[in-house]
Amino acid sequence: MLFNSYEFLFAYLPCVLAAYWLLFRTAGPRWSILWLAAASLFFYVIGEHAYPWLIVVSILFNYGAGLAIGAAAPDRRKLVAAAAITVNLLGLFYFKYFNFAVQQFIAVGALEKAPWVVTLPIGISFYTFTQIAYIADVYAKTAAERRLPSYGLFVSYFPHLIAGPILHHKEMMPQFLAPSRRLPLNLYIGAAMFAIGLAKKVLLADPAGLIATGTFGSAAESVGFFAAWVGTLAYGLQIYFDFSGYSDMAIGLSLMLGIRLPINFNSPYKATSILQFWRRWHITLSRFLRDYLYIPLGGSRRGEGRRYINLLTTMILGGIWHGAGWTFLVWGALHGAAQAIAHAWSDLAKRGRVTRLPAWFGWALTMLFVLIAWVPFRAPNLHVTMNMWKGMAGLNGFAFPAIGPLAGLGQKLGVGIEAVQFSTLGVAQLGLISLIAVLAPNSQQIMRRYRVGLSSPGYGDLSPPTRFTLRLNWTSALLIGLMLGIAMRAIGSYSEFIYFQF
Amino acid sequence: MRRRAKLNGRAVAPLFILILVAALTFLFPLPREQRMLRVVAKAAVAAATPGDKVAVVGNSVIGHVSKCDADRRDISAMIADDLHRPVVDLSYGGQAFEETVNLAGMALRTPHIRRVILPVPIAGFADADAMDLQSQAFFRLAAGPLAMNDIGARFGRGIYLSPGIAERVNSFTYKGKAYPDYNGVKTQYFEPERRTMPCPEVGGRNPEFMEAYYWINFVKPDPWPAHLADVRRLAELPSAKGRLTIVLMPMDFPGVRKMPATLQADVVRRRDGVLAYFRNAEVDVLDATDLVGPGGFADGYCVCGHLTESGRSAVAKAVAAKVGGAG
């Protein structure tokens, strides 16, 4: 079930909300937790056709593993935790990377054909990572959960289940037991946050996605300079508004239940360096990789050279986490290398050997790099990636952009016209969406007065002051209501969220 | 804490306003589809400008011009030239059957539109789909109480807020082979043909697919009785007398005749059934189903009824003769 579907908005959500608050107020948190866990599993099971049982098995296994670690003798705790994490990783590897591994064996002639094909279960990367973090926290004695319904809810909680944010046990459990009881206020702020997220998805991400799909779809052959840049920009905007829209919707839905989720985005396209970009983009994945991979690998504690290797390793694994394919590895490696270079530059600047880059230059360089790196993330294979990069570098030649009437003008002038056509309205829309990404305040800033989500330590101020903050008055209610209504009208055909596939 | 408690109390009225405004905006009776909005705007302009006009509704067959055609006029332009009267083109690609009939109904109510041409493809009668709720509500007001705009009947068919989808648009299996939905068919079958089709763009190179596509368009889904009845009711409206011309659009019979005999018979039976319905109901229709001969159809591979310049000209002349004859 999608957040941007009428089934969810008009049937599932009202039923879940009404029963949850009724149970909480009349029977207490034990029953409301049980209801929410059951409703969350239902939410998952009706959308997952291949392996609806997998999440239940995964929850039971990790719950048991958590208890086993807690009960284990001090000298065996590490072994039990390592075994539990290994089982999680093996499961993830099988469901996510089996097909890819088989393809590689076929490519080198070690296998003739695939023995079987594995369907990727929805949300497996998210709920596996959430539980690996839990196991690590239990091992570190910062988490422990004895109640199965509470643990089940922590993993399957429907606002975050399919595409995050990736949660920490310690930030959620106290809230499940004692959610914020300010019902009208939470519903109002939650609805406002949800409206912003839905508008991002259907009014900004989906139109940008149409342009990106058209361009990347044509890139198997050849793609011109202008089309390659427009298509890449469109994808960069699509993925940002799609994923941050989803995160806003998740935060809004959760607020309606009186529970705050961690904030996942903080205007990443305003970042003036790649290091800042990663403190603003997919924050809960970034902190997971930092806390459970980069720091255990040694972080920056073992010298400069080792630090760069750790960064590269972390980002490559982060890339592969997104999907089984060389393109994701390339994307991760590019970001790892860029972070290593940025750290090196920053260290040199501190020693006065190089000058610090002006903010505007840092921003332009970061955006240029991020856009170029989105190409392998979106392209179905390395061939299309190379074609797009060649187009962006002008190696496929320069021709007249085929935008609406401009194509006709090019024809009259007798110059070559690019094969990928864009409508004037589409390109104008893309320009407007770009301005929103770069100049507009983000959701947390708009909702600054109400602390809509949890901050992550080390990720800076997530809601710096802005002139455009939502107030609790009739004008705001009118505007948000209008936006929600328009966004609901714009829900058209089936439009999945990009991060569902990860 | 005290501030938040105070805020909580103050949130009730704004929350109520938010939900009310969202609900009203969501349900506001205006088409959600941009292309539908565009033709509604065209009709509004026609109503606001003096001079008698002809309106043409319909799907991409009306506006399609083959890349090989020397004559670049579409059917609307040809009708305008043949009738020497301005034509308001209310057609667009992908116009569903319910939209076509509703737009015709709306045009009949539009000032300064003297004549309405309603071209209907035979396959359209089988489209038991439904528009989104807001468009349906809009047409209930703009086109009148046609059965297809009955909200109760819609809910009775199990179609609520999301639009219903025509059976022929979904994935299907024919003779043991699975075919994707319309979007998949477009990329997998139409696009390769379109890209490589030399001039003239007639026929197709995948007879196996074309047979399957004729079957899912003309044979598999049964005609929807409500659609036939709605066209009849539209023709019987007092405002339609002498103003509405119903055209049963050309079917690619030259292509059909290359198909297996049983399929040919089924397609002819479907066409004859629709004709018989209108004959029995004493509704005057222009039967153009077998009007266009070989070379008159473009893009035969898509079974979509697109016409070449000779095909368009034949339809336009037949319509002009009918309209001219009717005065």
For B92-176, list the strands marked E by DSSP: 113-120, 172-174
Percent of chain A's residues with pLDDT above 70? 97
Predicted confidence at residue A323, as pLDDT, reads 86
Each as own residue / partner, the long-range contacts of residues A477-480 (CB below 8 Å, 24 or more positions apart, any chain) are A477/A188, A477/B13, A477/B14, A477/B15, A477/B17, A477/B18, A477/B21, A478/B17, A478/B18, A478/B21, A480/A191, A480/A192, A480/A195, A480/B18, A480/B22
Q: Is the pLDDT of residue B68 over 50?
A: yes
Q: Do A185 and B134 touch (CB under 8 A)?
A: no
Answer whether B9 sits within 8 Å of A184, measured CB to CB.
Answer: yes
Do A237 and A305 lie in one domain? The reply is yes
Q: Which of A43, A4, A8 is nearest to A201 (CA)?
A: A4
Please choose, from the candidates B125, B119, B75, the residue with its C-alpha nearest in 3D space to the C-alpha of residue B307.
Answer: B75
**Cβ contact, residue pair A188, B32, below 8 Å:** no
Residue at A1 is within a domain = no
Instruction: Please identify which of the residues A160, A282, A322, A343 carries the catalytic annotation.
Output: A322
Please, which residues bridge with residue B54 across strands? B87, B115
What is residue B327's predicted lDDT score, i.e. its pLDDT?
Answer: 47
Q: Are A180 and A211 in the same domain?
A: no
Domains located in chain B, CATH noted? 14-164+223-257+264-325 (3.40.50.1110)
Q: Is the pLDDT of residue A56 over 70?
A: yes
State the CB neighbour count (10 A cutoff) for residue B52: 10
Radius of gyration of chain A (CA): 24
Interface mutation vs chain A, best among B1, B2, B3, B21, most A CBs within 10 Å: B21
Nearest CA in chain A to B12: A184
* Contact in structure between A444 and A248 (CB atoms under 8 Å): no
**What is the reported pLDDT for A501?**
64
Task: Tell me if A401 is assigned to some domain.
Answer: yes
Handedness of CA B130, B136, B142, B147 (dihedral sign): positive
Among B15, B25, B162, beta carbon nearest to A485: B25
pTM > 0.90: yes or no: no
Distance CA A277, CA A484 (A): 29
User: What is the ipTM metric for this complex?
Assistant: 0.81
| Cα A158 from Cα A150, distance rounded (Å) | 13
Please state the separation of Cα B55 from the chain's center in Å.
14
User: Chain B: which residues have CB within 8 Å of chain A?
Assistant: 4-5, 7-15, 17-26, 28, 32, 134, 160-162
Domain end marker among A187, A215, A247 = A187
Contact residues, chain A, for B160 at CB < 8 Å: 6
Q: What DSSP state is assigned to residue B307?
A: B
Residue that terminates a domain, selected from A187, A208, A233: A187
- Predicted confidence band of residue A47 (pLDDT cuts 50, 70, 90): confident
- Pairwise CA distance, residues A360 & A342, whole Å: 16
Residue A447's nearest CA partner among A205, A180, A266, A204 is A266
* Residues 448-487 (A) with a CB less than 8 A from some CB of B: 472-474, 476-478, 480-482, 484-486
Query: Quick one: tokens of A413?
Result: 């002038």
Position B4 scores a pLDDT of 66
Task: Mark yes or no for CB contact B21/A485 under 8 Å.
Answer: yes
Q: Are residues A38 and A123 in the same domain?
A: yes
DSSP 8-class letter at A45: H
In a domain, A16, yes or no: yes
Q: Count how many domains chain A has.
A: 2
If one counts every other C-beta atom within 10 angstroms of the C-beta of residue A113, the result is 6
Minimum-distance CB partner of A188 among B11, B21, B162: B11
**B112, B49 contact by CB (below 8 A):** yes
Please tell me the distance from the alpha carbon of residue B177 to that of residue B212, in angstroms, as a whole number.
9
| A393 contact partners, CB below 8 Å, separation of at least 6 | none
If you average pLDDT over residues A459-470, what whole number do you get? Answer: 78
Convert the pLDDT of each residue in A301-339 to its tens digit: 888 889 999 999 999 999 998 988 999 999 999 999 999
A28 CB-side CA count, 13 A: 1
Give A-chain residues touching B28 at CB under 8 angstroms.
485, 489
The percentage of chain B sitting over the pLDDT mark of 90, rounded to a whole number, equals 57
Q: CA angle at residue A85 from A84 to A91, to 5 degrees? A: 95
Region B216-238: what's the mean pLDDT? 88
Are residues A163 and A204 both part of a single domain? no
CA angle A357-A358-A360, nearest 5°? 120
Size (chain B), residues? 327
pLDDT over 60 (residue A492)? yes
Model confidence over A147-161: pLDDT tens digits? 899 999 999 999 998
- A162-217: pLDDT as tens digits: 887 888 888 998 999 889 888 899 999 999 999 999 999 999 999 999 899 888 88
What number is the average pLDDT over the span B236-261? 92
Residue A322 annotated among the catalytic residues of the structure: yes
With a CB cutoff of 8 Å and minimum separation 6, the contacts of B159 are B129, B130
A192 within a domain of the structure (yes/no):
no
Q: How large is the average pLDDT for residues B202-217?
A: 88
What integer is the mean pLDDT of B33-43? 92
Determine which of A472, A474, A483 to mutate to test the interface with B (most B C-beta atoms within 10 Å).
Answer: A472
Q: Which of A457-461, A495-499, B229-233 has the highest mean pLDDT?
A: B229-233
Which chain B residues are within 8 Å of A182, Cβ to Cβ? 4-5, 7-8, 11
**Torsions phi, psi for A207 (to 5 deg):** -60, -40
A216 and A314 belong to one structural domain: yes
Q: In A, residues 166-185, which contact B (CB 8 Å cutoff)? A: 182-185
Helices A206-218 and A424-439, axial angle in degrees (round to 10): 120
Cα–Cα distance, A62 to A350 (Å, whole number) = 45
**A486 contacts on B by Cβ (under 8 Å):** 25
Cβ of B161 within 8 Å of Cβ of A6? The answer is yes
Distance CA B217, CA B191 (A): 19
Specify whether A129 is located in the same domain as A243.
Answer: no
Long-range contacts of B220-223 (CB under 8 A, 24+ apart): B220/B167, B220/B168, B220/B172, B221/B126, B221/B127, B221/B128, B221/B166, B221/B167, B221/B168, B222/B126, B223/B125, B223/B126, B223/B270, B223/B273, B223/B274
A149 touches A34 (CB < 8 A): yes
User: In whole angstroms, how large is the CA radius of gyration of chain B?
Assistant: 22
Q: For residues A156 and A255, state if they share a domain.
A: no
Q: How many CA atoms lie within 13 A of A492 on its CB side?
A: 12
Average pLDDT estimate for A447-451: 88
* Interface contact B14-A473, CB threshold 8 A: yes
Range of the domain at A56: 6-187
Average pLDDT over residues B257-262: 91
Contact B90, B107 (CB under 8 A): yes
In sequence order, what are the beta bridge partners of B55? B88, B116
Answer yes or no: do A256 and A156 share one domain.
Answer: no
Which of B7, B20, B21 has its CB closest to that of A185?
B7
| Domain final residue, candidates A139, A156, A187 | A187
The C-alpha of A160 sits at a distance from chain B's nearest C-alpha, in angstroms, of 24
Q: Which residues in chain A touch residue B8, judged by CB atoms under 8 angstroms apart?
A: 182-185
Q: A488 at the B interface (CB within 8 A)?
A: yes
In a domain, A194, yes or no: no
The answer to whether residue A317 neighbours chain B at the CB level (below 8 Å) is no
Closest-approach residue (CA) in chain B for A190 = B15
Q: Confidence class of residue B126 from pLDDT cuts 50, 70 and 90?
A: confident
Q: Are residues A214 and A86 in the same domain?
A: no
C-alpha distances (whole Å) from A325 to each of A119, A126, A365, A413 are 15, 18, 27, 43
Asked if the structure places residue A193 within a domain, the reply is no
Nearest Cβ partner for A185 among B8, B22, B162: B8
**pLDDT over 80 (residue B128):** no
What per-residue confidence (pLDDT) applies to A437?
96
- Quick one: pLDDT at residue B184? 84
Q: Within an 8 Å CB–CB cutoff, is residue A1 touching chain B?
A: no
Percent of chain A at pLDDT exceeding 90: 64
pLDDT exceeds cutoff 70 at A493: no
- A199 vs B158, residue with greater confidence: A199
- A185 to B11: CB separation less than 8 angstroms, yes or no: yes
Distance, in Å, from the CA atom of A325 to the CA atom of A334, rounded to the nearest integer, reads 15
CB A62 within 8 A of CB A135: yes
Under DSSP, the state recorded for B164 is B
Given pLDDT bands bounded at 50, 70 and 90, which one contains residue B325? low
In a domain, A43, yes or no: yes
- With CA atoms as reference, report the closest residue to B244 among B143, B78, B103, B114: B114
Which one of B13, B20, B161 has the shortest CB-CB distance to A481?
A: B20
Mark whether A107 and A245 lie in a shared domain.
Answer: no
The whole-chain average pLDDT of chain B stands at: 89
Query: H helices of A158-302, where?
Result: 158-161, 169-177, 183-199, 206-218, 225-256, 274-280, 283-289
Residues A126 and A234 in one domain: no
Residues A271, A417 share a domain: yes
Contacts of B4 in chain A (CB under 8 A): 182, 185
Candidate from A422-426, B16-20, B21-25 with smallest mean pLDDT? A422-426
